[in-house]
Chains A and B, each alone.
Chain A
Amino acid sequence: MKKENWLIIFTLVLLLTLPAFARDAFQLHLLIVSGIYVVLAISLNLIFLTGQLSIAHGAMMGIGAYTSALMSLKLNWPVFICMPTGALVSGLVGFIIGLLVLRITGIYFAIVTFAFGEIVVLAFLTWESLFGGPNGILNIPSPTFKFPGLFEVSFSSKLAYYYLILLTVFIAIFIFRRFNLSYLGRACRAIAKSERLAKSIGINAMYYKLLAFSVGNLFAGLAGALYAHYLHYIGPGYFSFHESVHIIVAVVIGGVGTLLGPILGAIFLTYLPEFLRAARDYEMMIYAFILILVLKFMPEGLYGGLNSVKNTVRLFFSRGEEQGGPVRS
């Protein structure tokens, strides 16, 4: 027990002082982008918990991004109001779509989310008067925190934004962890494993699927809004099918269903292209090849892979008895 607490404290301190280790602005940029992807991956993982695959996560990110950006530009509201609003809009859209569509299961649900995502992106592309068409939206302001009469903090520097993202990541982790540990997570897992069985003992499958879907999309929207106010520019291409797939890959590579998995996957996928940059023309091929390797040899994802390494090491150092093995009748 105590060992775990020390580990958490150590990680916390590390994360808080991480910017000091960043060599340049670009490294800090990577940290920020990883953070945003961590939020996206964790929130998609939440939807996975109920056994549903959503290919609309990129689009939901976009809804949050565009809503927040437009509100800050056209309505002149403070960004710290716009961002949660963007998140809420995404959550609401998720809720409405979910009502219509969550009774469909499996691959067909995934397909519907894909189609929905495509429609959203097409709307961003063609509704030029509102969304700016292929050129997107420019000059999105940074978040500023006005303390009435006293001071004003602007989050325009990368350093400040890092801490903002870190805070969001902590919130996402907290919510997901609470979900997982409480009966909410249990009900979701029951639904994912056997919806029929879950219903037979009184679990309202629709309620939990809707809950997970809405909350997951809400965080996607939040991530999108944070992205928008960081880059100061967004375009429809940022929220396409490719984006949704990127997030799915992050979760699967990292390890579905766990807390650490999506975090690992998101960080891995953000930094991998940077390491491969030197390979230039071969970059994408090696990227794809690495994905195939990971899936082939670590079917539980990076988290599963690391776990087995940990277990092998542990077994190596102590010849303990197996716990909970097969029962001999």
Chain B
Amino acid sequence: MNILLQVGINGLTIGLLYVLMALGLTLIFGVMDIINFAHGEFYMLGAFFTYIATVKFQMSFFTSLAIAIAVVAILAILIERIVFRPLLHSPLNVLIVSLAVSIFLQHLSQLSFGPDNYKIPSPALGVFVLGGLYFPKERLVAAGVSILLLFGLYLLIFHTKFGRAMRAVAQDPESAALQGVKISRIYMYSFSIGCGLAAAAGGLIGPIFSANAFMGTLAVVKAFVVIILAGLGSIRGAIIGGLALGVVESFSSTFLGTQYCDMIGFALIILVLIVKPSGLFGTAIEKA
């Protein structure tokens, strides 16, 4: 029983990080209607910037994380304005360009840091034991910060004027524009927030597993699987899906092999999309 709970809890803590990734991705899709292949690279940059701040500038973990998120958010704004904005009318072009950005950032990182793994120093060492269950303190920190960020995001989206504007644009950009919402600004900030969440996930995972130039690819695939199954643009789905993925992965890596897991994941995607193309939590899309 204890083992099951332990595995479950481990899964949940990693799941929270998946939620951060997935939420960022689904937010960008919901508001801007674009698929951002470079999402994993912002995650990777978050990890690397945190590393630089802690190791090179000797700052505390939390300060470093904050700085990393801020830097990535600003970088995201630049990239959105220069690269994505002119192409927003053509989702196909956006897809390709996000791929190009992804390749560019990956190799830039590889050039700067090499292919090695970098471990971010732990914010808290040791293990917290409660009722026979082990909670590694690093993971507790990761979970705690994630929850804080999620709460902050919730407040932003549902309790601020900006959040309302975001939701309006996600629903119907034309009507929102007619009501005076500055679409371009919403796009900019939404993109920034989405990438910032990815960066946070990267920075938080750095101490637990290490960081390298290509860590983004695997992470973004998982995030995509989550939001596809859950429904593109669905916040609820991203949260539940992310947590579910974390738990499922935890169980399957402990008790089974991971080989057939991938195939099952993809087969599941096809099945779900045939039956309910909008995903498990998405709103019904109109069939042409």
Query: A and B: direct contact (Cβ < 8 Å)?
Result: yes
For B267, what are the chain A residues with a Cβ–Cβ distance below 8 Å? 115, 119
Kindly specify which of B47-55, B63-71, B94-102, B183-191 makes contact with the partner chain.
Answer: B94-102
Nearest CB in chain A to that of B268: its residue: A115
Partner of A253, one of B90, B96, B104, B232: B96
CB distance from A211 to the nearest CB of B (A): 17
For B99, what are the chain A residues with a Cβ–Cβ distance below 8 Å? 245, 249, 291
Within 8 A of B (CB), among A97-115: 100-101, 103-105, 107-108, 111-112, 115
Pick the most buried of B100, B101, B273, B274: most chain A CB atoms within 10 A of its CB: B100
Cα-based distance from A196 to B97 in the complex (angstroms): 30
CB distance from B86 to the nearest CB of A (A): 6
Does residue A243 face the partner (Cβ distance < 8 Å to B)?
A: no
For A285, what are the chain B residues with a Cβ–Cβ distance below 8 Å? 103-104, 107-108, 111
Contact: A53 with B83, CB < 8 Å?
no
Contact: B97 with A108, CB < 8 Å?
no
Prevailing SS type, chain B contact patch: helix
Partner of A104, one of B87, B260, B277: B277
Contact: B274 with A104, CB < 8 Å?
yes
Does residue B172 face the partner (Cβ distance < 8 Å to A)?
A: no
Does residue A319 face the partner (Cβ distance < 8 Å to B)?
A: no
Within 8 A of B (CB), among A238-295: 245, 248-249, 252-253, 256, 281-282, 284-285, 287-289, 291-292, 295
Does residue A93 face the partner (Cβ distance < 8 Å to B)?
A: no
Does residue B148 face the partner (Cβ distance < 8 Å to A)?
A: no
Residue total for A at the interface (Cβ-Cβ under 8 A): 39
For B128, what are the chain A residues with a Cβ–Cβ distance below 8 Å? none
Cα-based distance from A103 to B287 in the complex (angstroms): 8
Given known contacts A292-B83, A295-B97, A284 and B287 CB-to-CB distance under 8 angstroms: no
Contact: B274 with A292, CB < 8 Å?
no
Nearest CB in chain B to that of A123: its residue: B263
For B90, what are the chain A residues with a Cβ–Cβ distance below 8 Å? 299
Cα-based distance from A287 to B99 in the complex (angstroms): 11
Contact: A292 with B288, CB < 8 Å?
no
Contact: A256 with B103, CB < 8 Å?
no
Partner of B270, one of A116, A249, A282: A116
Contact: B263 with A119, CB < 8 Å?
yes
- Chain B interface size band reads 35 or more
Nearest CB in chain B to that of A293: its residue: B100
Cα-based distance from A101 to B35 in the complex (angstroms): 21
Nearest CB in chain A to that of B103: its residue: A288
Given known contacts A288-B100, A292-B101, A295-B97, A105 and B288 CB-to-CB distance under 8 angstroms: yes
Cα-based distance from A122 to B97 in the complex (angstroms): 27
Nearest CB in chain B to that of A101: its residue: B274
Q: Encode contact with A along B103-115: 1 for CB under 8 Å, 0 otherwise.
A: 1101110010000
CB distance from A104 to the nearest CB of B (A): 5
Does residue B92 face the partner (Cβ distance < 8 Å to A)?
A: yes
Contact: B266 with A122, CB < 8 Å?
yes
Cα-based distance from A253 to B102 in the complex (angstroms): 17
Contact: A249 with B266, CB < 8 Å?
no
Does residue B144 face the partner (Cβ distance < 8 Å to A)?
A: no
Does residue A23 face the partner (Cβ distance < 8 Å to B)?
A: no
For B93, what are the chain A residues with a Cβ–Cβ distance below 8 Å? 252, 295, 299
Contact: B108 with A112, CB < 8 Å?
no
CB distance from B229 to the nearest CB of A (A): 10
Partner of B107, one of A105, A288, A299: A288
18 additional contacts (CB under 8 A) given A103-B287, A285-B108: A104-B273, A104-B277, A108-B285, A111-B228, A111-B273, A112-B270, A115-B267, A118-B266, A119-B263, A119-B270, A205-B288, A248-B95, A249-B96, A282-B107, A289-B104, A292-B83, A292-B100, A299-B87
5 cross-chain pairs, A with B, having the tightest CB-CB distances, nearest first: A288-B104, A195-B288, A291-B100, A288-B103, A115-B269
